[in-house]
Amino acid sequence: GDSVTQMEGPVTLSEEAFLTINCTYTATGYPSLFWYVQYPGEGLQLLLKATKADDKGSNKGFEATYRKETTSFHLEKGSVQVSDSAVYFCALSEDAGNNRKLIWGLGTSLAVNP
């Protein structure tokens, strides 16, 4: 079945460092891909998404490109802030445009130190 694999955390960075969180997937169809963020004590929020190959999702300085050839959707940010400390989840839908059920990665915890 479809699956999502994220790099294990925790990831600890200093402020203004470059961030990469790796996400790879296996899917039989043409999924949409998502990154969600969960700040401490809160629910998950959609951070960005991409619905087809080569699409780049971006939001709040974060970016991720849908790479079909490497089945990846890595999250990047050029300069992290303390306020970016959170847990980040990669997810895919079963088919493009139909995410009645998302398949979730286990989450990667990010801690940014001042």
Partner 1 sequence: NAGVTQTPKFRILKIGQSMTLQCAQDMNHNYMYWYRQDPGMGLKLIYYSVGAGITDKGEVPNGYNVSRSTTEDFPLRLELAAPSQTSVYFCASSYEGLYGYTFGSGTRLTVV
Of the pair 49, 74, the CB lying nearest partner 1 is at: 49
Provide the minimum distance between the beta carbon of 106 and partner 1 in the complex, in angstroms, as a whole number.
4
Provide the minimum distance between the beta carbon of 105 and partner 1 in the complex, in angstroms, as a whole number.
6
C-alpha dihedral sign at 96, 102, 107, 110 = positive
Of the pair 6, 77, the CB lying nearest partner 1 is at: 6
Distance, in Å, from the CA atom of 89 to the CA atom of 108, rounded to the nearest integer, reads 7
Question: Which residues in this chain contact partner 1 in the complex, by CB under 8 A?
Answer: 32, 34, 36, 42-46, 49, 89, 93, 97-102, 104-107
Of the pair 13, 96, the CB lying nearest partner 1 is at: 96
DSSP string, 57-90: EEETTEEEE-BTTTTB--EEESS--GGG-EEEEE
Structure tokens at 100: 């009645």
Provide the minimum distance between the beta carbon of 16 and partner 1 in the complex, in angstroms, as a whole number.
28
